[in-house]
Amino acid sequence: MRAAVWTKGGELELVDRAAPEPGPGEVSVSVVSGGICGSDLHWFRGDFTPDAGRTPGHEIGGVVAAVGADVDGLREGDVVGIEPRVRCGACDYCALGQFQHCRTSHLIGLGSDGGLADQVLAPAYTAFVAPPGVDGELAALAEPLACSVHGFRKVDLRAGETVLVQGAGTIGLTAVQAAVAEGATVLITARYAHQREAAERLGASEVIMDDDAGNQRLAELGRDQAIDVVAEAVGGHADTIRVAVDVVRPMGRVCVLGVFAIESAGLNPLTLLSKEAVVVGANTYSWPGGTAGDSDYARALEVIAGMPEESRALITHRIPLSEINAGFATAMDKSTASIKVHIQPD
């Protein structure tokens, strides 16, 4: 099989490898589609030094190619999505289903070889059979969506509430999906026209553009105490947590989904205190009820099954595995109007 691997220089090259043979408790999955995550781009643009020889890719959909011993509930030919967090399964956090805090946890594609390849090896517990109507390409969208599902569960989002999503990148747009699926009214901030179109297609009732008029609208929403929940999905060096606390109503909730590169969020602690607002971090996904059937990832697959074509429209570019570096360059270049770039075996 072919696999994309990091070079010491931070680029990717294709190598030939033996197809993986699953051991006990493992499955081998033929990859149909693998998404490029914003976190993957940190290595590509040189923010971090990649692990040379490692295959990236943790947004994975595919078909089970082989099943190892002691695996129940999966068989060859099953269409699956991969929930890519590997964990020990024995610690207190794992017992609670909160394996994102397991001390030995890692993501497939970071701590072990990922899905930007013809095949990927994974623990069987990470492979979720896709619902009817969800193919391998759609299943690859479940991983980023599960992050938003997890965040809204952390703040107990309820039907009929009003949500403001900050940022219309992939995570922000999946937050629209997740909130709409829970019966919320959703507003979102966006910077580009193609993000506005995508948000409206997913069910956002209002798109607030990143300009002076948009800033005035946010101030108005804050004065009107109109926002029950804010989902922060920008991260980086933005001051969005400060804005979120300013905008959310008294006793409202803020869910932080964005990955920040700063040590101070810059929010006003007096505003936080006076509003009695709740600010909650959301780290990937979990099994809140302690079982796979109650997992954030399983819920994400259900959401996709309920809006398959709207979900598929998030994939703006499909790049063959043989052109892996072009795929990463496309994902990094805002002028391409990319939302989700998928790498697919050719």
Q: List the chain domain ranges.
A: 2-141+286-344, 145-281
Residue 163: count other Cβ atoms within 10 Å of its Cβ. Answer: 27
Q: What is the pLDDT of residues 194-242, one digit of tens each?
A: 999 999 999 999 999 999 999 999 999 999 999 999 999 999 889 999 9
Structure tokens at 155: 């703040």
Q: Report the pLDDT averaged over residues 315-324.
A: 98
Q: What is the pLDDT of residues 106-144, one digit of tens each?
A: 999 999 999 999 999 999 999 999 999 999 999 999 999
Report whether 275 contacts 132 (CB < 8 A). no
Over the range 216-252, which residues count as b (16 or more CB within 10 Å of their CB) and which as e?
ebbeebbeeebbbbbbbbbbeebebbebbbbbbbeeb
Q: Report the pLDDT averaged over residues 158-182.
A: 97
Query: What CATH code would you report for 2-141+286-344?
Result: 3.90.180.10
Q: Report the pLDDT averaged over residues 30-44.
A: 93
Q: What is the pLDDT of residues 248-297, one digit of tens each?
A: 999 999 999 998 888 888 889 999 999 999 999 999 999 998 888 899 99
Going by pLDDT thresholds of 50, 70 and 90, the confidence category of residue 8 is confident
The CA-to-CA distance between both ends of the chain, in Å, stands at 12
Stronger pLDDT, 8 or 117, i.e. the higher one: 117
Going by pLDDT thresholds of 50, 70 and 90, the confidence category of residue 42 is confident
Asked if pLDDT for residue 39 goes beyond 90, the answer is no
Q: What is the pLDDT of residues 61-82, one digit of tens each?
A: 999 999 999 999 999 999 999 9
For 145-281, give the CATH class. alpha beta
Structure tokens at 97: 């289903």
What pLDDT sits at residue 145?
98
Q: Coil, helix or strand for 250? A: coil
Structure tokens at 259: 């990955």
What pLDDT sits at residue 49?
87
- In the numeric block, the tokens 């979120």 are attached to 244
Q: Using DSSP, how many helices (H) and how many strands (E) does the chain show?
A: 12, 17
CA 20 to chain centre: 26
